[in-house]
Structure 1
């Protein structure tokens, strides 16, 4: 539960995934597609890297915390890296609670993700993401792949 990006602003950046409930709540609040609980339960522990933002200044009587023994505040942001841990890394599930946006939390999450990848990925590793916030990820050196390639997906029904 160590803060990896200390800042005296009432937010801690902590390594490790959110709970399934926190994950689902943040995705819903950020208008991201819902994920099936079974998939989230399986997937979160298999993250190559995960980080979350905890609001440590929150009023203890406000929004309930899923597991107060794990986090002494409300999880208000998250980001994950999935992949093979060698040649391919995919940044995903980047979300910040709308009431906590515009405070630099997304930037802190992306810096932590990039620091992890830079420290652990071998030279030449491919890092990708699907972003829907114009201009945000570009600040961290991410580029659109078109026209060289295009992103695609298929959802299992």
Structure 2
């Protein structure tokens, strides 16, 4: 198949649609419109112009980087596209991270990322989350 890899984030609507298509939690269009421009690095994979894979790096650009939104349309999974997204992200991180920089992620499929050299931080550290909602 003929894929195009672009080193930028998708449109906010494409981003929201891909998260749902790939089985990730839904994000509001407003959140995507605000958040995507603050991305440090993004990669999108397209087939005939349609978004079929994506990934982003967010953070402060020096001390902390977080890998987020790695997703591939289920119709295209198993073809190495998730690996390609991560190879682009790893290349970016190799060029941007400094000594002492911290790279993190919350992985739904840790085995996939372990194959790419990522390691669980437990038991030394544990991932945590807390939900916040701003009144509209």
Q: TM-score range by the shorter chain?
A: over 0.9
Give the deviation of 1:35 after TM superposition.
Answer: 1.0
The residue aligned with 1:79 is 55
Write out the 4+ residue segments of structure 1 that deviate beyond 3 Å after TM superposition.
none
Structure 2 residue aligned with 1:32, among 15, 24, 31?
24
Give the deviation of 1:134 after TM superposition.
Answer: 3.5
- Please state if 1:115 is matched with 2:91: yes
RMSD between superposed Cα atoms in Å: 0.9
Structure 2 residue aligned with 1:93, among 55, 69, 87?
69
Output the CA distance in 2 between the equivalents of 1:26 and 1:54: 12
Find the residue that maps to 2:45 and give its secondary structure.
strand
Aligned length: 133
The residue aligned with 1:133 is 109
The normalised TM-score by structure 2 is 0.94
Q: Which runs of 5+ in 2 are unaligned?
A: none
Larger radius of gyration: 1
Q: Which runs of 5+ in 1 are unaligned?
A: 1-8, 57-72
Give the deviation of 1:90 after TM superposition.
Answer: 0.1
The normalised TM-score by structure 1 is 0.82
Output the CA distance in 1 between the equivalents of 2:79 and 2:109: 16
